[in-house]
Protein backbone atom coordinates (compact mmCIF):
# COMPACT_ATOMS: atom_id res chain seq x y z
CA UNK A 1 0.00 0.00 0.00
CA UNK A 2 1.27 3.46 -0.78
CA UNK A 3 -0.51 6.75 -0.82
CA UNK A 4 0.56 10.33 -0.68
CA UNK A 5 -2.99 11.45 0.07
CA UNK A 6 -3.91 12.83 3.47
CA UNK A 7 -7.64 12.52 2.88
CA UNK A 8 -8.31 11.70 6.53
CA UNK A 9 -6.19 14.43 8.05
CA UNK A 10 -7.74 15.65 11.32
CA UNK A 11 -10.30 12.85 11.40
CA UNK A 12 -10.78 10.45 14.30
CA UNK A 13 -11.88 6.87 13.64
CA UNK A 14 -12.84 3.76 15.58
CA UNK A 15 -12.34 0.30 14.05
CA UNK A 16 -13.55 -3.01 15.50
CA UNK A 17 -11.66 -6.20 14.72
CA UNK A 18 -8.65 -4.02 13.95
CA UNK A 19 -5.92 -6.37 15.19
CA UNK A 20 -5.88 -8.59 12.10
CA UNK A 21 -6.66 -8.88 8.41
CA UNK A 22 -8.97 -6.35 6.77
CA UNK A 23 -9.40 -4.31 9.96
CA UNK A 24 -5.66 -4.05 10.55
CA UNK A 25 -4.97 -3.05 6.94
CA UNK A 26 -7.68 -0.40 7.22
CA UNK A 27 -6.20 1.00 10.44
CA UNK A 28 -2.80 1.29 8.76
CA UNK A 29 -4.37 2.94 5.71
CA UNK A 30 -6.45 5.36 7.81
CA UNK A 31 -3.31 6.38 9.74
CA UNK A 32 -1.31 6.72 6.50
CA UNK A 33 -4.01 9.07 5.24
CA UNK A 34 -3.79 11.23 8.37
CA UNK A 35 -6.37 9.83 10.82
CA UNK A 36 -6.03 9.00 14.49
CA UNK A 37 -7.67 5.66 15.25
CA UNK A 38 -9.07 3.90 18.32
CA UNK A 39 -8.78 0.19 17.59
CA UNK A 40 -10.94 -2.44 19.29
CA UNK A 41 -10.44 -6.19 19.22
CA UNK A 42 -10.81 -9.19 21.51
CA UNK A 43 -7.18 -10.11 20.70
CA UNK A 44 -5.11 -8.17 23.23
CA UNK A 45 -1.76 -9.45 21.94
CA UNK A 46 -2.63 -8.45 18.37
CA UNK A 47 -3.63 -5.00 19.59
CA UNK A 48 -0.34 -4.61 21.48
CA UNK A 49 1.61 -5.50 18.31
CA UNK A 50 -0.35 -2.94 16.32
CA UNK A 51 0.16 -0.22 18.94
CA UNK A 52 3.90 -0.91 18.99
CA UNK A 53 4.06 -0.69 15.20
CA UNK A 54 1.98 2.46 14.75
CA UNK A 55 2.66 4.56 17.87
CA UNK A 56 0.72 7.62 18.97
CA UNK A 57 -1.79 7.73 16.11
CA UNK A 58 -3.59 4.71 17.56
CA UNK A 59 -5.15 3.89 20.90
CA UNK A 60 -6.10 0.27 21.50
CA UNK A 61 -9.01 -1.03 23.58
CA UNK A 62 -9.50 -4.74 24.22
CA UNK A 63 -13.14 -5.78 24.15
CA UNK A 64 -15.96 -7.70 22.51
CA UNK A 65 -17.57 -6.01 19.51
CA UNK A 66 -20.89 -7.72 20.31
CA UNK A 67 -21.00 -6.43 23.90
CA UNK A 68 -22.80 -3.10 24.33
CA UNK A 69 -20.67 -1.92 27.27
CA UNK A 70 -17.48 -2.62 25.35
CA UNK A 71 -18.76 -0.81 22.24
CA UNK A 72 -19.80 2.16 24.38
CA UNK A 73 -16.31 2.23 25.92
CA UNK A 74 -14.66 2.10 22.49
CA UNK A 75 -16.61 5.11 21.25
CA UNK A 76 -16.07 6.98 24.53
CA UNK A 77 -12.31 6.42 24.25
CA UNK A 78 -12.27 8.16 20.86
CA UNK A 79 -14.10 11.18 22.23
CA UNK A 80 -12.05 11.34 25.45
CA UNK A 81 -8.65 10.73 23.87
CA UNK A 82 -9.04 12.60 20.56
CA UNK A 83 -12.02 14.90 21.20
CA UNK A 84 -14.36 13.80 18.41
CA UNK A 85 -15.50 10.94 16.18
CA UNK A 86 -15.71 11.17 12.39
CA UNK A 87 -15.41 7.57 11.16
CA UNK A 88 -16.67 4.28 12.62
CA UNK A 89 -15.75 0.99 10.96
CA UNK A 90 -17.66 -2.04 12.28
CA UNK A 91 -15.48 -4.79 10.91
CA UNK A 92 -15.15 -7.55 13.53
CA UNK A 93 -16.60 -10.77 12.21
CA UNK A 94 -16.43 -14.54 12.49
CA UNK A 95 -17.30 -17.45 10.22
CA UNK A 96 -18.93 -20.81 10.74
CA UNK A 97 -19.64 -23.87 8.63
CA UNK A 98 -22.65 -26.08 9.33
CA UNK A 99 -25.57 -27.36 7.28
CA UNK A 100 -28.88 -25.95 8.46
CA UNK A 101 -30.34 -29.35 9.30
CA UNK A 102 -27.33 -30.18 11.50
CA UNK A 103 -26.88 -26.70 12.90
CA UNK A 104 -26.11 -25.89 16.50
CA UNK A 105 -28.29 -22.99 17.69
CA UNK A 106 -25.53 -21.54 19.88
CA UNK A 107 -23.20 -21.29 16.88
CA UNK A 108 -25.93 -19.63 14.77
CA UNK A 109 -26.54 -17.11 17.56
CA UNK A 110 -22.85 -16.37 18.07
CA UNK A 111 -22.36 -15.53 14.38
CA UNK A 112 -25.42 -13.26 14.37
CA UNK A 113 -24.25 -11.59 17.61
CA UNK A 114 -20.79 -10.71 16.32
CA UNK A 115 -21.55 -10.08 12.63
CA UNK A 116 -24.91 -8.28 12.84
CA UNK A 117 -25.62 -7.17 16.42
CA UNK A 118 -22.04 -5.89 16.75
CA UNK A 119 -22.41 -3.49 13.79
CA UNK A 120 -25.87 -2.47 15.05
CA UNK A 121 -24.29 -1.48 18.38
CA UNK A 122 -21.50 0.51 16.75
CA UNK A 123 -23.97 2.34 14.49
CA UNK A 124 -26.05 3.14 17.59
CA UNK A 125 -23.22 4.49 19.73
CA UNK A 126 -21.15 6.14 16.99
CA UNK A 127 -24.32 7.70 15.57
CA UNK A 128 -25.04 9.30 18.94
CA UNK A 129 -21.72 11.13 19.21
CA UNK A 130 -21.08 12.13 15.57
CA UNK A 131 -22.35 15.66 15.97
CA UNK A 132 -20.51 17.09 12.92
CA UNK A 133 -21.56 14.43 10.41
CA UNK A 134 -19.39 11.44 9.67
CA UNK A 135 -18.96 8.11 7.92
CA UNK A 136 -19.96 4.71 9.26
CA UNK A 137 -18.76 1.63 7.41
CA UNK A 138 -19.71 -1.98 8.10
CA UNK A 139 -17.95 -5.04 6.71
CA UNK A 140 -20.52 -7.15 4.90
CA UNK A 141 -19.36 -9.74 2.35
CA UNK A 142 -19.85 -11.15 -1.12
CA UNK A 143 -22.07 -13.49 0.92
CA UNK A 144 -24.55 -10.65 1.44
CA UNK A 145 -25.63 -11.32 -2.16
CA UNK A 146 -24.30 -14.82 -2.95
CA UNK A 147 -25.24 -17.95 -0.99
CA UNK A 148 -22.76 -20.62 0.05
CA UNK A 149 -23.39 -24.14 1.34
CA UNK A 150 -22.85 -24.46 5.10
CA UNK A 151 -22.93 -20.70 5.49
CA UNK A 152 -26.52 -19.93 6.53
CA UNK A 153 -25.59 -17.93 9.63
CA UNK A 154 -22.75 -16.08 7.92
CA UNK A 155 -24.74 -15.28 4.76
CA UNK A 156 -27.81 -14.20 6.75
CA UNK A 157 -25.69 -11.99 9.01
CA UNK A 158 -24.01 -10.28 6.06
CA UNK A 159 -27.29 -9.80 4.15
CA UNK A 160 -28.62 -8.31 7.39
CA UNK A 161 -25.70 -5.88 7.48
CA UNK A 162 -26.44 -4.78 3.90
CA UNK A 163 -29.96 -3.80 4.99
CA UNK A 164 -28.83 -2.37 8.36
CA UNK A 165 -26.70 0.22 6.55
CA UNK A 166 -29.68 1.24 4.42
CA UNK A 167 -31.90 1.87 7.45
CA UNK A 168 -29.05 3.65 9.23
CA UNK A 169 -28.38 5.80 6.14
CA UNK A 170 -32.06 6.84 6.14
CA UNK A 171 -32.09 7.70 9.83
CA UNK A 172 -28.68 9.39 10.06
CA UNK A 173 -28.48 11.08 6.65
CA UNK A 174 -30.27 14.23 7.82
CA UNK A 175 -27.42 14.69 10.35
CA UNK A 176 -24.77 14.41 7.63
CA UNK A 177 -23.76 10.87 8.57
CA UNK A 178 -23.16 8.50 5.66
CA UNK A 179 -23.50 4.75 6.24
CA UNK A 180 -22.18 2.15 3.81
CA UNK A 181 -21.18 -1.50 3.71
CA UNK A 182 -18.09 -2.94 2.09
CA UNK A 183 -18.43 -6.46 0.68
CA UNK A 184 -15.13 -8.31 0.32
CA UNK A 185 -14.84 -11.39 -1.83
CA UNK A 186 -12.30 -14.11 -0.93
CA UNK A 187 -9.46 -12.37 0.91
CA UNK A 188 -6.43 -14.04 2.46
CA UNK A 189 -6.56 -13.35 6.22
CA UNK A 190 -6.53 -15.36 9.46
CA UNK A 191 -10.24 -15.99 8.85
CA UNK A 192 -9.61 -17.81 5.56
CA UNK A 193 -6.21 -19.33 6.37
CA UNK A 194 -7.80 -22.79 6.78
CA UNK A 195 -9.13 -22.63 3.22
CA UNK A 196 -5.60 -22.03 1.95
CA UNK A 197 -4.65 -25.49 3.25
CA UNK A 198 -6.93 -26.97 0.57
CA UNK A 199 -5.90 -25.88 -2.95
CA UNK A 200 -9.29 -27.06 -4.34
CA UNK A 201 -11.07 -24.42 -2.27
CA UNK A 202 -8.74 -21.62 -3.36
CA UNK A 203 -9.10 -22.81 -6.98
CA UNK A 204 -12.89 -22.81 -6.59
CA UNK A 205 -12.87 -19.19 -5.52
CA UNK A 206 -10.31 -18.02 -8.06
CA UNK A 207 -12.08 -19.79 -10.97
CA UNK A 208 -15.22 -17.89 -9.99
CA UNK A 209 -13.48 -14.51 -9.88
CA UNK A 210 -13.23 -12.67 -13.21
CA UNK A 211 -10.03 -10.92 -12.10
CA UNK A 212 -8.49 -14.36 -11.50
CA UNK A 213 -6.98 -13.96 -8.04
CA UNK A 214 -7.96 -13.83 -4.40
CA UNK A 215 -8.12 -10.44 -2.66
CA UNK A 216 -5.71 -8.88 -0.19
CA UNK A 217 -6.55 -6.87 2.94
CA UNK A 218 -5.09 -3.82 1.18
CA UNK A 219 -7.59 -4.25 -1.70
CA UNK A 220 -10.37 -3.79 0.86
CA UNK A 221 -8.62 -1.06 2.87
CA UNK A 222 -8.41 1.07 -0.29
CA UNK A 223 -12.20 1.09 -0.44
CA UNK A 224 -12.81 1.56 3.29
CA UNK A 225 -10.46 4.58 3.19
CA UNK A 226 -12.42 5.97 0.23
CA UNK A 227 -15.72 5.50 2.09
CA UNK A 228 -14.25 7.09 5.22
CA UNK A 229 -13.05 10.12 3.25
CA UNK A 230 -14.83 13.14 1.87
CA UNK A 231 -14.20 11.71 -1.62
CA UNK A 232 -17.31 9.63 -0.83
CA UNK A 233 -19.27 12.71 0.32
CA UNK A 234 -22.33 11.75 -1.76
CA UNK A 235 -22.18 7.97 -1.17
CA UNK A 236 -24.59 6.53 1.41
CA UNK A 237 -26.73 3.44 1.89
CA UNK A 238 -24.63 1.34 -0.50
CA UNK A 239 -23.02 -2.08 -0.49
CA UNK A 240 -19.64 -1.67 -2.19
CA UNK A 241 -18.59 -5.13 -3.36
CA UNK A 242 -14.80 -5.54 -3.55
CA UNK A 243 -14.63 -9.04 -4.93
CA UNK A 244 -12.82 -9.04 -8.27
CA UNK A 245 -16.22 -9.40 -9.94
CA UNK A 246 -17.09 -12.68 -8.18
CA UNK A 247 -20.70 -11.62 -7.60
CA UNK A 248 -21.44 -12.03 -11.32
CA UNK A 249 -20.27 -15.67 -11.28
CA UNK A 250 -21.11 -18.46 -8.82
CA UNK A 251 -20.00 -19.26 -5.29
CA UNK A 252 -17.96 -22.48 -4.95
CA UNK A 253 -19.72 -25.40 -3.22
CA UNK A 254 -17.42 -25.52 -0.19
CA UNK A 255 -19.16 -28.43 1.57
CA UNK A 256 -19.14 -30.34 -1.72
CA UNK A 257 -15.41 -29.68 -2.22
CA UNK A 258 -14.51 -30.91 1.29
CA UNK A 259 -16.90 -33.85 0.95
CA UNK A 260 -18.98 -32.91 3.99
Ligand X SMILES: NC(=O)c1ccc[n+]([C@@H]2O[C@H](COP(=O)([O-])OP(=O)(O)OC[C@H]3O[C@@H](n4cnc5c(N)ncnc54)[C@H](O)[C@@H]3O)[C@@H](O)[C@H]2O)c1
Question: Rule CB under 6 A: is residue 91 a binding residue for ligand X?
Answer: yes
Burial of 61 (0-12, 13-18, 19+ CB in 10 A): buried
Nearer to ligand X by Cβ, of 92 and 130: the residue is: 92
Q: What is the DSSP letter of 114?
A: I
Beta-carbon neighbour count of residue 91 at 10 Å?
28
Q: From the CB of 82, what's the least distance to ligand X, in Å? A: 20
Smallest CA-to-CA distance from 22 within 95, 71, 80, 100 is with 95
- Spatial separation of the C-alpha atoms in residues 216 and 127, rounded to whole Å: 29
C-alpha neighbours within 13 Å on the C-beta side of residue 246: 31
Give the interface size with ligand X as a residue count (CB under 6 A).
28
3-state class of 37 per DSSP?
Answer: strand
Shorter beta-carbon distance to ligand X: residue 9 or 109: 109
CA distance 77 to 70: 10
Residue 234 CB: number of other CB atoms within 10 A?
A: 7
Identity of the residue, 134 or 185, whose beta carbon is nearer to ligand X in the bound complex = 185
Chain residues 2-31 in contact with ligand X, contact rule CB under 6 A: 16-17, 19-23
- Pick out residues in 33-72 that bind ligand X (CB under 6 A): 41-43, 46, 64-66
Decide if 251 is catalytic: no
The CA distance from 63 to 119, in Å, is 14
- Smallest separation, CB 64 to ligand X (Å): 4
Q: Which of 154, 205, 234, 251 is catalytic?
A: 154
Of 170, 190, 233, 248, the one binding ligand X (CB under 6 A) is 190
Q: How far is the CB of 174 from ligand X (least distance, A)?
A: 28
Contact pattern from residue 137 through residue 176 relative to ligand X, giving x for each residue in contact according to CB under 6 A and a dash for the rest: --x-x-----------------------------------
Q: Which DSSP helix (H) or strand (E) runs through 95?
A: none
**For ligand X, the closer CB: 8 or 60:** 60
Site residues (vs ligand X, CB under 6 A): 16-17, 19-23, 41-43, 46, 64-66, 91-94, 114, 139, 141, 184, 186-187, 189-192
**Catalytic residue positions, numbered:** 154
Amino acid sequence: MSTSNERLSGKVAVVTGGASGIGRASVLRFVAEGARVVVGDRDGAGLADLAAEVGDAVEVVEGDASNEEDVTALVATAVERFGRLDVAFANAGIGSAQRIVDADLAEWSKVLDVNLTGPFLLVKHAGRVMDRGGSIIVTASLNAVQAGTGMAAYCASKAGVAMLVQVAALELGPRGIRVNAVGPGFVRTALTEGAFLLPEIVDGYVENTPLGRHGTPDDIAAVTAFLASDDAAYVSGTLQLVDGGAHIMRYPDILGIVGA
